Amino acid sequence: MPSQELIRDYHLLPALAEEKKAENELFRQFLKSIPSHRTDEVFLPLAEHITARIDCTNCGNCCRHLEPGISEEEAGKLASLKSLSKEIFIRDFTGREPETGVLFLNHQPCIFFDGTLCTIYENRPASCADFPHLTTGNFKFRYRSIMHLYSICPIVFNTVEQLKVALGFTIHRADEPPENNKPAGHPPTAPTGR
């Protein structure tokens, strides 16, 4: 298990993501040589380990930037929390994906967000409760969607950064041979603590 210092301040992420753009593309290429199940054997415990060490109540950055999907039933529940009819709530506070018809909350920050906290935490939609959606694994094939959150969510950022180390990914510099980015033979399978 790598022992890197965690980045907890979401303000730092956009600049770091920009700085690591080329590196992350190399990492995506690097992952092609590692079986998906092997990547997840490392990724899933790391994600759990880091989730337990980042306090979302000091962050809330997802609620500032994302538009969580909601079910029709959840729309009714959220409407009643706003003392509105479901129709008015859907009209004023949601969008609908054209291809799938799925509803989503379309205000940024979220209308239920205050400071760094969700004001309806016990009643938040399932997609919020599951955020940042790391427990399903399948990291390799979800790489692009997970990396969409890399500059927003400290849990995602730190998990990806520690995954690089745990899998033996190192940055290839112009003055180094490309062999530096070959995968490690036996990446660790579980966190060992930080």
Q: Which residues bind ligand SF4 (CB under 6 A)?
A: 10, 54, 56, 59-63, 68, 110, 112-113, 118, 120, 124-125, 128, 131-132, 152-155
Nearer Cβ to ligand SF4 (134/167): 134
Per-residue HEC secondary structure of 132-194 comes to CCCCCCCCCCCHHHHHCCCCCCHHHHHHHHHHHHHCCCCCCCCCCCHHHHCCCCCCCCCCCCC
Nearer Cβ to ligand SF4 (24/36): 24
Token digits of residue 142: 């979800």
Token digits of residue 86: 């479901």
Nearer Cβ to ligand SF4 (34/155): 155
List the Cα angle 131/137/143 in 5-degree steps: 85
User: What backbone phi and psi angles, to 5 degrees, belong to 168?
Assistant: 85, 20
Q: How far is CA 192 from CA 1, 5, 175, in A?
A: 5, 14, 33
Q: Least distance from C-beta 97 to ligand SF4, angstroms?
A: 17
Please name which of 127, 125, 109 lies closest in space to residue 117, comparing C-alpha atoms: 109
Nearer Cβ to ligand SF4 (154/187): 154
Nearer Cβ to ligand SF4 (34/63): 63
Q: Least distance from C-beta 40 to ligand SF4, angstroms?
A: 20
Q: Least distance from C-beta 91 to ligand SF4, angstroms?
A: 18
Q: Least distance from C-beta 134 to ligand SF4, angstroms?
A: 9
Q: Least distance from C-beta 152 to ligand SF4, angstroms?
A: 6
